Amino acid sequence: MTFLSYFNRFISNFVFLALVYYSLNLMEKYQQRFILAVLVLVYCALHAVTAFRSFYFYQRIERLELEARRLGGVVGSGPSETAARKIIIGDVASLRRSGEMKTYMDLMFLTMIVLLCIAKIVTE
């Protein structure tokens, strides 16, 4: 299931990259191409801010994971509760890592789109 989510994110980012490339090459006038490139750059900047903010969120989740593991060892509960707690913490850790990988993938494609837009703005 994780592979499918990575594949979906890759395909959606690649389609966006292809649409930006096609749209920028379709514009014949420099002024139209410039306006489209600037709008795409604004969108990429907003998306990048969101991605970097999610990294902050993932750091907080990681800190909570460590704290939950530490407190789980201190609290003397039964073995079934300890096993359930370990499963939940493991699931949260895997979801966090998968979210981080998707965010890295988004940032990679955003970087390629930004470079494409800058190249189209600079070249006439």
Whether the pLDDT of residue 81 is over 80: the answer is no
Average pLDDT of the residues of the chain: 88
Checking if the pLDDT of 73 tops 70, the result is: no
CB contact set of 23 (below 8 Å; sequence gap of 6+): 36
pLDDT category at 40 given cuts 50, 70, 90 is very high
Question: Residue 54 half-sphere exposure, CB side, CA atoms within 13 Å?
Answer: 17
**How confident is the model at residue 77, as a pLDDT?**
64
Inter-CA distances, 112 with 19, 68, 98, 101, Å: 13, 38, 21, 17
Side-chain half-sphere of 4: how many Cα atoms within 13 Å?
Answer: 1
More confident residue, 64 or 69: 64
